[in-house]
Structure 1
Amino acid sequence: MNRAQAPLRLTALDVTDLEAISAALQDAVAQLGDFEFSSRQRSFTIAFNRFRWEVSGRKQRVRCGLQIGHVLAARSHNIRQGAEEAVVNLLSIGFEPAEAPSGALVLVFSGGGEMRLEVECLDLAMADISEPWPATRRPGHDTDHS
């Protein structure tokens, strides 16, 4: 298996690392039932089907897990709680710093949905967990903002 086909595994301990994870997960889709917050373990886990942006000339998706550590609280806005089978499309993940090294991870979803995770520090791990499969199309965005 060549490097372009190898499973992607990334960690983020700072904002620069977080930008790489955000880019890899852009347009990833998940069901709300695949979100899990454990206050006891102070972690938040999401399973996504992500588009493999890093594979040039191919349209593929792969199952991917995102683990976020040191989570103190989780809040959502414009996301239907209890709708386990509802599908969301991730646009980006950002960080709003507070008293160093703490802050809020902000996951922005299409349609105006947002998840805010208050964290003690940045501690994310992302890993592909399945073989890739063909995607029907490459994700796109309306760029006409007139």
Structure 2
Amino acid sequence: MSDARFEDGDEQPLRLIAQDGEGLAVIATLLQDAVFPITEMSLVRQKRRFALMLNRFRWEYREAAEKTGRQFERVQSLLVFEDVLAVRSQHIDRTATDTILSLLDISFLPGEDGTGLVTLVLAGGGAIGLQVEALDVTLRDVTRPYLAPSGKVPEHGA
């Protein structure tokens, strides 16, 4: 028996679970520069679940694409946070239903007894804060990859 290798996952959809800050950092890295319509985020209060349907850049295949001349790809992914007690947002106009948001980072500030604050940092100064009873996050690709409309790797100005 041997450890899984990165190459073993070639062309397979991602399905990741994070239950601590270290696991969330992996998911955050894979979701950097993901974009989503403001209408594709929802809170189901009865289930204490917050979900986003994102179009993420496939960072895990960037190097292979550059080496082979393959075009860059995106894929639709579902990001789900369980055990959500409260959701707050900053600098987001929820009434502007045609707005496309861009995710830059996700962080976790632990509190007492496993609780904490998850912050989704958005381009343009926006943020979404999730007060959680426990960190329980799932990222799952739900479509086949498609060519990135820009054809480029996302970049950030200095």
Indicate the structure (1 or 2) with the bigger Cα radius of gyration.
2
Residue 97 of structure 1, CA deviation: 1.4
Residue 90 of structure 1, CA deviation: 0.1
More helix, by proportion: 2
Asked whether the equivalents of residues 95 and 105 of structure 1 are also in contact (C-alpha less than 8 Å), the reply is yes
Pick from 24, 30, 38: which aligns with 1:24?
Answer: 30
- Please, what is the CA RMSD of the aligned residues? 1.1
Where structure 1 has 5 or more consecutive residues not aligned to the other structure, the ranges are none
TM superposition outliers: structure 1 runs of 4+ over 6 Å? none
In the alignment, which residue of structure 1 is the partner of 2:124?
Answer: 111
TM-score of the two chains, using structure 2 as the length reference? 0.87
The CA deviation string for residues 81-117 of structure 1, in whole angstroms up to 9 with x for no partner, is 1222210000000001111300110000000000000
In the alignment, which residue of structure 2 is the partner of 1:141?
Answer: 156
Asked whether the equivalents of residues 4 and 54 of structure 1 are also in contact (C-alpha less than 8 Å), the reply is no
Separation in 1, partners of 2:103, 2:113: 26
TM-score of the two chains, using structure 1 as the length reference? 0.94
Where structure 2 has 5 or more consecutive residues not aligned to the other structure, the ranges are 1-7, 66-70
Aligned residues: 142
Pick from 61, 83, 96: which aligns with 1:83?
Answer: 96
Residue 39 of structure 1, CA deviation: 1.2
Q: Percent identity?
A: 37
Pick from 35, 45, 60: which aligns with 2:73?
Answer: 60
SS of equivalent residue, structure 2 residue 46: coil
Task: Give 1:140's aligned amino acid.
Answer: E
